[in-house]
Structure formats: structure tokens, C-alpha cells
Amino acid sequence: MPYVQGSFEGLPDAARRRLTEMRGGEGKKGLFTSDLSVNEFLLCQEASFDPVGLVMGSSIYHIGFQAQKFYQNQELEVLTQAMYEARELAMTRMEEEADVLGADGIVGVRLEVTRYEWGASMAEFMAVGTAIKHRGGGNYRTLDNRPFTSDLSGQDFWTLLKAGYQPLSLVMGTCVYHVAHQGVMQAMKQVGRNIEMPNYTQALYDARELALSRMQAEAEREGAAGIVGAQVRENSHGWDSHVIEYFAVGTAVKPIPGTNPVPEPTLTLSLND
Amino acid sequence: MQSPWIATVDSRELSTLLGLGIEPVRQVFGASVRAISLTSFPITTCLVQIEMDAYYQMLDECLQAVHAEAERLSANGVVDCQLTYETTLEGAPAGYRLLRMQMIGTGVLDERNLSSQRYVAACTATELLGLHRAGFQPCGLAVGHCSFYQVAWRQKPKRGPLGSWMNEEVAELTQGPYTAREIAMSRMTDMAQKCGGVGIVAVKYQSSVIPSGSLVDGTMAAVCRMSMIGTAIRRNPKSDSEVSISLAVKVN
């Protein structure tokens, strides 16, 4: 389900009603919700952004099956596709919620995957963050007029703006990879020796590269100048021990034209440990 | 002799509170334990009303206990309030489930709180400082909860023998957590609006999807729970201060 401007297809009726009420108007007072900490909330306010609501999107997804070649390193495309599509569904619904609230973007986005013991082939994908709106009516939306998304905290978001950059989109790349098993003969040859396991090393390299290149391609499509806070996580999601997911995620950013240079930081001694 | 005060806050938080003109009085506590019967679930999607009612009754009891303790101590605010909630079969009579709720915080004398209303806030002292500086003040806890029974995944014959091998969203089951979240969030915002809040900060949530009921004929059912808690805030009309923030390098 790709994002379509103005479409609220993925939202249940109750969500649309609640979000519309949160905007206020028609004699009703608006009220915002936010999972930003107080410090994050204040920093967003200082940067002329007001939180407009806690937004969420989720999808419970049945992950299909793909046969693996026991002695071969290979990407499991069916599983990669499932991880992409389910995250996309959750993200799109979250963006639609932000749209209903008239937000310019979403900060502090977290993408969570929960596997249930009772449903081995199913997983719940959840995207959650705080929708914010620029007080001065500045245009912070993306090129295709969707609210920007970012996994940056309120502190990182404030610092990014002060540095003259604005977030564009949460970009991600994923790759589910099967690491080949060793043959019996190969295992015998290694008994009692220090030796590199080339199939493992190669698999990790390949999977990470695929995930990173996909994240980079997403950022290029968004017209970004760079990606900040990029992380590569390795997950197994309860699959076979030879199946791993490499998940690369970060916030694509672009410079804000005409901003001042970064002010010189003040040195402080913290009372914290 | 005046009795010593007891606070859940540490020494740094304490100095922040004192600096704000907020004096800790004593730890305040509220608890409630209830046993509810193990519901036999119907065949249709619905609210688990018995659990919802129990949750809100327990919340009321905990809040009343916290307010009563604060009243006795002449405290006009409660800060750093933490709420824990759990359901368990352990220790429950046969055919029942135990629900436990506990609320703990620090009763304070807040000289800035000029209203007659006592506030309960999940904020720490540092967070209060930030809020005061920005011209906001806490006005109460905002809590929302929903237990929702979702019947899902009626196996459709047209999916064919390989249907379950394919990637696909389980749309009906997705609806369960969504609905639970919507109801929990609405209740949380209602609670914030009742105490005059303009917003809720630092919302924390806890969710679960637990299979339940019959699995006959490919029908799957689950109880989706969502609990949310945050601090409702309002503008302090007397405050004219503004936050001034500058970049700093922390030397550890």
C-alpha cells in the first residue's frame, strides 16, 4: 500500500474521527498527545514546532515461506519482501494519521517488530512517533508533499535544525539472508584449527551491503544530501539460526537554504555520572 | 518534633525540586487488587467490558488513595507518579484472574500551584523544571486502557492450498490492536481534557496481543490490550519566562 496524498484508506473510522477531533475547531478545543519527553517537547517548541499528536500505524502480517538451499549463501527474497511490505504498511498508516492532523512531519519514529509464540509465521509491525507542525507555516514536507519522517529524538532534531539541515524521510534497507551450512568434509578439515569461516564472513558482508545499498537508494530517490543516525541492526526474529535480517535505518536530510552557520558550542561540566 | 520527609526522588532531583520552590512531603501510595472471572468469549468482536470496568475502578481507587494520602499530608501536588498494572493467574482463585494496580509518587507542597486543585503528574523534577520554564504546568495524569476481543482470520476456501505460504497482511487481526489503541487514546485524551489540559507529554504505552477463545474452523481470536499513561499539561497564565537553549558540549 504506497502512500497516496490525501488518502486515509489504511485508517479505521474510529482513528479518523479521533484525529479530526484532536485538531479542534467547530467549537471544540484541540488537544495534543505526544510520547516526546518533556525535554524533547521543549526543544521542539523552541525550534518553532508544536506537537500535534502521537501517531501510530501497525500491521499484523503473515510471513510467507521460502525454501533455502542448505549449502548456499542466498538472500531470501520472499522474507525480505515481507519485512519491507509490512513495515511500509505500518509507516504509511502512521503518515496518514499525521496527514489527518495536518502535520508537517513526524519525529522520534520507532519501528518495532513483535513475534508471537502463538503465531510462528506472523509478526506485528508497528510504527510510532510524534507528529509535529511548524508554527510559522514553513514548508517541511517532502517533495511529494508527504509529512517528513525521522527517527531522530527531539534533541537530535533540534541540533539538526540548528546545524542548517532538515529531515526528509526515514530511509531503510533490509535484507533477509540465509547463511550456508558447512559441509561435513569442510568441518572435519577445521577440527582443532584457528580458521576463518569464509561462508559466514561473506554472508554478513553481502547482507549488510544489500541492506545499506537499499537504504542509500531510498535516500537518493528522496533527493537527500546525506543520512544521519544510520544504524545497521542484525535480527533473527525467531527464524532458523542460519537466517538473519540486516536492517539499515536512518534519517535522510537536506540543507536548509539560507541558514546561519552552526554556533560555537559552549563547554559545560555535567553533574551526571 | 517534625517528622522527616520521605521522597522517591534522588538528591539531584530533590535539589531541582527545592530550587523550583517545591518541597517534598512524603511518598504517597495507592494500590488495588481485583479478581475477575475468566470470561467465556463470544463469537463476535467486542470490548472485554469486565476487564475495562475493573481497570477503571482500580484506577479510581488508586487515585483516590493517592489523593487521600496527599490530603492528609497537606500536599497540593504529587510528582514522579508511577503506575504499574499486571494481570496474572498466579494466586487467583480457580476460574478467576488477578488484576493488580499500584500507584506510587511523592507528595509535594508546590508554591506555584495557586489553584485549589491538587495535581498528580508522572513528571520528574527535571521535567517539571523544563515545563515551568516554558510556561507550562502539569494538571493531572492522563491514563487510557482498552481490552478488545478480536475475532480474526476466518480461513477462506478461495485462498487455495498454498494460500498460507504467501506473504500477506492478516487484516482482521491488524484491526484488533488498532481499535484497542484508538479507544485507549480517546480515553486518555478525555481524561486530560477533564482536568483542563491542552496537551499530554511523555506518553508511555504498553500493548499485548494474546490468543484466546476458540480456534475451531480456522477462526482465530485474540485479546488485544493497550494501556497508555502521560502527564496532562496546561499553560501557566502567570508565567512569562521563555526557554533559552544553546549548544553545549558535555564533559563527562
Q: Taking residues B71-100, report their average pLDDT.
A: 89
Neighboring chain B residues of A81 at a CB cutoff of 8 Å: 167
Torsion of CA B119, B125, B130, B134, to 10 degrees: 30
Residue A217 parent element (H or E): helix A198-221
Nearest to B179 among A12, A32, A59 (CB): A12
Is A13-255 a domain of CATH 3.30.110.70?
yes
Residue A200: predicted pLDDT: 86
- Cα–Cα distance measured from residue B198 to residue B138, given in angstroms and rounded to the nearest whole number: 10
pLDDT tens digits, one per residue of B123-139: 888 888 888 888 888 98
Tell which B residues from 10 to 69 touch A, by Cβ distance under 8 Å.
Answer: 12
Q: Contact, A242 vs A197, CB < 8 A? A: no
Q: Taking residues B177-199, report their average pLDDT.
A: 91
Nearest to B201 among A41, A58, A266 (CB): A41
pLDDT band per the 50, 70, 90 thresholds, residue B157: very low
Residue B8: predicted pLDDT: 67
pLDDT band per the 50, 70, 90 thresholds, residue B67: very high
Measured between its terminal Cα atoms, the distance across chain B in Å is 42
CA distances, A135 to each of A44, A46, B32 (Å): 10, 10, 43
How far is B23 from chain A, CA to nearest CA, in Å? 21
Number of Cβ within a 10 Å radius of residue A179? 22
Residue B245: predicted pLDDT: 74
Q: Contact, A140 vs A160, CB < 8 A? A: no
Query: Looking at the domain B11-235, which fold is it?
Result: Translation Initiation Factor IF3 (3.30.110)
Residue B1: predicted pLDDT: 52
Best residue in B10, B126, B128, B167 for a mutation probing chain A (most A CBs within 10 Å): B167
**Alpha carbon B164 to chain centroid, angstroms:** 38
* Predicted ipTM of the assembly: 0.74
Using a 10 angstrom Cβ sphere, with 0-12 exposed, 13-18 middle and 19 or more buried, the burial of residue A111 is: buried
Alpha-carbon Rg for chain A, nearest whole angstrom, is 22
Residue B215: predicted pLDDT: 55
Nearest to B199 among A31, A118, A126 (CB): A31
How far is B251 from chain A, CA to nearest CA, in Å? 5
How far is A258 from chain B, CA to nearest CA, in Å? 20
Q: Contact, A127 vs A147, CB < 8 A? A: no
Q: Decide if A61 and B12 are in contact by the 8 Å CB cutoff.
A: no
Q: Decide if B246 and A86 are in contact by the 8 Å CB cutoff.
A: no
Q: Decide if B199 and A82 are in contact by the 8 Å CB cutoff.
A: no
**Could you tell me the three cell numbers for B121?**
503528574
Q: Decide if B166 and A46 are in contact by the 8 Å CB cutoff.
A: no
Closest residue by Cα to residue B21 from B123, B129, B153: B129
How far is B148 from chain A, CA to nearest CA, in Å? 14
Q: Decide if A38 and B192 are in contact by the 8 Å CB cutoff.
A: no
Residue A264: predicted pLDDT: 76
pLDDT tens digits, one per residue of B219-238: 778 888 999 999 999 988 77
Closest residue by Cα to residue B137 from B227, B21, B41: B21
Nearest to B185 among A12, A33, A81 (CB): A33
Neighboring chain A residues of B164 at a CB cutoff of 8 Å: 62, 121
Residue ranges in chain A modelled with pLDDT below 50: none
DSSP class per residue in A230-254: EEEEEE-TT--TTEEEEEEEEEEEE
Nearest to B130 among A38, A56, A263 (CB): A38
pLDDT band per the 50, 70, 90 thresholds, residue B240: low
Measured between its terminal Cα atoms, the distance across chain A in Å is 47
What is the number of helices (H) and of strands (E) in chain B?
4, 10
Residue B2: predicted pLDDT: 59
Q: Closest residue of A to B169, CA-based?
A: A61
Nearest to B246 among A14, A60, A266 (CB): A266
Q: Taking residues B74-97, report their average pLDDT.
A: 88
Best residue in A21, A62, A66 for a mutation probing chain B (most B CBs within 10 Å): A62
Neighboring chain B residues of A48 at a CB cutoff of 8 Å: none
Best residue in A60, A84, A262, A270 for a mutation probing chain B (most B CBs within 10 Å): A60
Q: Decide if B247 and A159 are in contact by the 8 Å CB cutoff.
A: yes
User: What are the structural domain ranges in chain B?
Assistant: 11-235
Handedness of CA B137, B139, B140, B146 (dihedral sign): negative
pLDDT band per the 50, 70, 90 thresholds, residue B149: confident
What does the mean pLDDT of chain B come to? Answer: 83
Whether B127 contacts chain A with CB within 8 A: yes
pTM greater than 0.90: no
User: What are the structural domain ranges in chain A?
Assistant: 13-255
